[in-house]
Amino acid sequence: SQQGEEDPQALSIQEGENATMNCSYKTSINNLQWYRQNSGRGLVHLILIRSNEREKHSGRLRVTLDTSKKSSSLLITASRAADTASYFCATVFNQAGTALIFGKGTTLSVSS
Amino acid sequence: KAGVTQTPRYLIKTRGQQVTLSCSPISGHRSVSWYQQTPGQGLQFLFEYFSETQRNKGNFPGRFSGRQFSNSRSEMNVSTLELGDSALYLCASSLELAGENEQFFGPGTRLTVL
């Protein structure tokens, strides 16, 4: 499978804690994207990180990319109940052209 | 700007029927991609259209087809429906080629095949 794989599959934390999700993939990539899906807002783009970048920030989100280990991580700092959602990494594989391939996702539950 | 719209939002069909789903991308976006989401398989790429041309196709049978019109609106068609086609079908648009840019997703069409 060309899918990225997120780890863990599920994560439960308290408000104010940090949440870290990981994504591993198998072949070389052009870029890697993170998306969030919840019932209220559907699937929403969070961050795109290109293969020549190592880290990107967006508000309380921090994404790292390690192409040597074929892995990426998404860190959400100071989590809020509203961060409760499923988080997906999506990769564009050089061989597949521009198609976005999604992983199965990490389900994050943030309780107050 | 209006977001990506999909019609209909919900659909119930029976096995053997065919269905057409519609997607209107964000104004100015030239790429439209379609995905199938199920609890078991997750989000799976169906196809991508860019300037009326199919750029990529996922690993789905020929019963799944699509097209894009000159105004970038897209339709996907599923013929000879099977129970396993029950899923949420998501459409996404991007300014240029999908995968190189942020994709904006529509709310999806929930298809139930009885």
What is the radius of gyration, based on Cα positions, of chain B?
13
What is the C-alpha separation between B63 and B103, in angstroms, rounded? 25
- When pLDDT is cut at 50, 70 and 90, the band that residue A30 belongs to is confident
As a residue count, chain B comes to 114
Q: How many CB atoms lie within 10 A of CB B61?
A: 11
Among candidate residues A101, A73, A76, A105, the one with its CA nearest the CA of residue A6: A105
* DSSP-assigned states of every residue in B22-79: EEEPPTT--EEEEEEEETTTEEEEEEEEETTEEEEE-S--TTEEEEE-TTS-EEEEE-
Q: Count Cβ–Cβ pairs < 8 Å, chain A vs chain B.
A: 59
The residue ranking higher by pLDDT, B102 or B87, is B87
DSSP state for residue B81 in the 8-state scheme: -
Length of chain A in terms of residues written: 112
**A97 pLDDT more than 80:** no
3-state class of B83 per DSSP? helix
pLDDT at A1 over 70: no
Top-confidence residue, A30 or B16: B16
Q: Do B33 and A48 touch (CB under 8 A)?
A: no
Sequence-separated (6 or more) residues with CB below 8 Å from residue B97: A98, B31, B48, B50, B55
Question: A42 contacts in B (CB within 8 Å)?
Answer: 90, 105-108
Name, of A36-40, B57-61, B71-75, the range with top average pLDDT: B71-75
Nearest-neighbour CA in chain B from A104: distance (Å): 5
Tokens of A3: 């899918």
A100/B55 touch (CB, cutoff 8 Å), yes or no: no
Where would I find the beta strands (DSSP E) of chain A? 5-7, 10-14, 19-24, 29-38, 42-50, 55-58, 61-66, 71-76, 85-93, 100-102, 106-111
Q: How large a percentage of chain A has pLDDT more than 70?
A: 92
Q: Do B49 and B56 form a contact (C-beta atoms < 8 A)? A: no
Half-sphere exposure of A102 (CA within 13 A, CB side): 27
CATH numbers and ranges of domains, chain A: 5-111 (2.60.40.10)
Residue with tokens 């198609």: A99
Q: Measure CB to CB from residue B102 to each of A3, A48, A98 and give the nearest one.
A: A48
- The pLDDT value recorded for residue B101 is 82
Taking contacts as CB-CB distances below 8 angstroms, the residues of chain B near A99 are 33, 45, 48, 55-56, 58, 98-99
| Residue A5 confidence (pLDDT) | 85
Q: pLDDT by residue (tens digit) across A56-94?
A: 999 999 999 999 999 999 999 999 999 999 999 998 765
User: Mutate which of B31, B103, B109, B110 to test chain A, going by most A C-beta atoms within 10 A?
Assistant: B103
Rounded-to-integer distance, Cα A106 and Cα A97, Å: 25
